[in-house]
Chain A
Amino acid sequence: MHLLNGMRGALIGAAIAAVAILTAPLYIDLFQIMQLTVFAAMAVLALSLGFIWGYGGILCFGQTSFFGLGAYAYAVAAINFGDSTPAIALAILVPVIFATLLGYFMIYGGISDVYLGVITLTVSLILFNLVNSTAGDFYKIGEARLGGFNGIPGVPTFNLPGDPSYILTPEQAWMVTGMALILVYLGLRVLIASSFGRIIVAIRENETRAALLGYDPRIYKLITFMIGGAIAGLAGALYVNWGAFVSPTIFALGLSAQIIIWVIIGGRGTLIGPVIGCLLLQWLVTEIGAQQAMDANFVLGAILIVFVLLVPKGIAPTLRDLAMSRLSRDTAPAPTADATAKVKT
């Protein structure tokens, strides 16, 4: 129970967010609900990287690989089964299997951060080329044609579990996506507060020390990587459900970069940071797309450079540090308060 005590703030916040999500269709029009749905799906993706990078210390530059595999797994399974429930399970399972294989080779190979970043990035590039080349009748899985560059259109969206004839309305899909975001967030909070979470943070801080204390860093890192893959895969299913469409651009470099930028500007080592970064950036990219004065890549790149140089910790930790220093100043002993008063006068 003490686990939940430490999370009282998070639980209250989540409850407020849940109420907001469930009542949103009452006062927001359908177009904006759709927009918010994709934002929420992407926020789940941001959480996956925020977890493995911010807490596990795994520098994964190709989180889109798992996102895209989840999306494609969902699309192929939903077309074949005509039911979204097993498709969602596969959208999580396929990326996890892929993450296990890839993670095994990288983490048990004992490669450095730099190599890991480069290899994960390369994986997403190669998946992009591979899926891009699957045009034509030859490439189909069951009923689903992969469609190469054109992607898979007309993917069945979520239905009520057990009743494929009841398709969720856009408002219901929004509630499912929003609630998934909250559940993933809370799940990760619990995981981080558990002994597993403490161990992976210890490994992030000092791998040798954790190993000397008897924890095998490799298995913990691998499990972290797999959890990240599972969450990214779920985000992929939510994303396909939003657009009923998936194409190879889901693996493209631009999206890989965006995920990194969400986490960087939001802040590593927090969970709310990546969500905030994701929502801000998505809104910004949508605005840039509407203005058409600037290239979105140009703005994103500039933001990334500025944050790396000037705000390397990201928004959420910087604000938290500011609040902390303000707080500790307020409660500081009298002489310090006098000193600041003197400076002010």
Chain B
Amino acid sequence: MDIAIIVGLDVVSGIASLVLISAGLAVIFGMMKIINLAHGEFLMLGAYATVLSVSAGVNIWFAMLVIAPVFVGLVGMIVERCLIQFLYGRLVDSMLATWGLSLVIVGGTTMIFGNTIVGVSSPLGGFQVGAYQSSLYTPFLALMALLLMTAVFGVMRFTRAGLIARAVMQNPDMAATLGVNPARVYMATFGLGAAMSGLAGGLLAPIAGVVPTMGAAFIAKAFITVVGGGTSILWGLISASGLFGFINQIAAFLTTPVFGEVILFIAAIILIRLLPTGISGRFFKGRL
């Protein structure tokens, strides 16, 4: 029974971390149809912002919930203005440019902070399940994932900004004829997606080794989740995270974490063969 609870917790935390690490990528992909290959580096910048703020004496909650997303969000806006905006309509080139950006950020961070692991300690204690010990940080991550999804849903569904965003998502040309400037929407989207990645990076800082190359450890899962989910931001993300998080954690429990990732990938590629536009392209077409 205890082991079932622990595995259940693992599944929940696996799903939650997939939602968190993929959310920023999903927002940018859903709106602009480009995959931001510097996504892993946005996570890394969020983690660094958190670690550096904490070591400068800032409260850890403030650092990871406010400083990390705001900082990375600003970076995202600057990137959009200086790089992405010249490449609209050239999907492949924009992916290549973000890949170049990813290398520049990794290289730059390595030059400034060196290739060593820094970190902060996990702020919450643990709790006991029978003979097993688990960290309170896991349910906290799940709660954050839930809050993030609720916030995305609320903004998209009930605000004017969300209405404009949904209109641009469905048909940018039509939205433009109605007086919306898609370029500005894209800039805001890119900033927002970056901020969400920064938040995820901040939240991961206490449980991951923070190094300039840490992004590479997360992007494989994030890419699979977003590609498997398709272009619908909310339902695609939730359904793909749910499916892949479940498969990944069960497979990791039965074998090793690395084989869990391999099995997750095989599941994803079979899914892509059956549903080339992702889960949301088939079941949640035209929804958020």
Interface residues of A (CB under 8 A from B): 59, 61, 102, 105-106, 108-111, 113-115, 117-119, 121-123, 125-126, 129-130, 132-133, 252-254, 257, 260, 264, 294-305, 308-309, 312
Contacts and interface: CB of A to CB of B under 8 A. Distances in A.
B103 A59 contact: no
29 contacts: A109-B273, A109-B276, A110-B276, A114-B35, A117-B35, A117-B92, A118-B227, A119-B223, A121-B37, A122-B224, A123-B265, A125-B219, A125-B220, A126-B265, A130-B262, A132-B258, A257-B99, A297-B103, A298-B107, A300-B107, A301-B100, A301-B105, A302-B100, A302-B104, A304-B103, A308-B87, A308-B100, A309-B86, A312-B90
B93 interface: yes
Q: Which of B100, B102, B111, B220 has the most CB of A within 10 A?
A: B100
Interface string B73-105: 000000000010011001111011101111111
Contact of A102 (B86, B95, B97, B269): B269
B213 to A, nearest CB: 8
A230 to B, nearest CB: 21
Given A121-B223, A123-B265, A125-B220, A312 B93 contact: yes
Nearest to A111: B276
A302 B111 CA distance: 14
Closest CB pairs A-B (n = 7): A298-B107, A301-B103, A304-B100, A297-B107, A301-B104, A295-B107, A305-B100
A218 to B, nearest CB: 12
Contacts of B91: 113-114
Contacts of B97: 304-305, 308-309
Q: Which of A61, A295, A303 has the most CB of B within 10 A?
A: A295
Contacts of A109: 272-274, 276
Given A105-B273, A257-B103, A126 B223 contact: no
Contact of B265 (A61, A122, A133): A122
A298 B262 contact: no
Contact of A133 (B87, B216, B223, B258): B258
Contact of B261 (A102, A110, A126, A312): A126
A108 B273 CA distance: 7
| Dominant secondary structure at the B interface | helix
A57 to B, nearest CB: 10
B157 to A, nearest CB: 27
Contact of B99 (A130, A260, A298): A260
B25 to A, nearest CB: 10
Nearest to A123: B265
Contacts of B219: 122, 125
B101 A305 contact: yes
A117 B34 CA distance: 11
A130 B96 CA distance: 26
B33 interface: yes
A312 to B, nearest CB: 6
B258 A129 contact: yes
B110 interface: yes
B211 to A, nearest CB: 13
B106 interface: yes
A123 B224 CA distance: 10
Contact of B83 (A59, A253, A300, A305): A305
A105 B111 contact: no
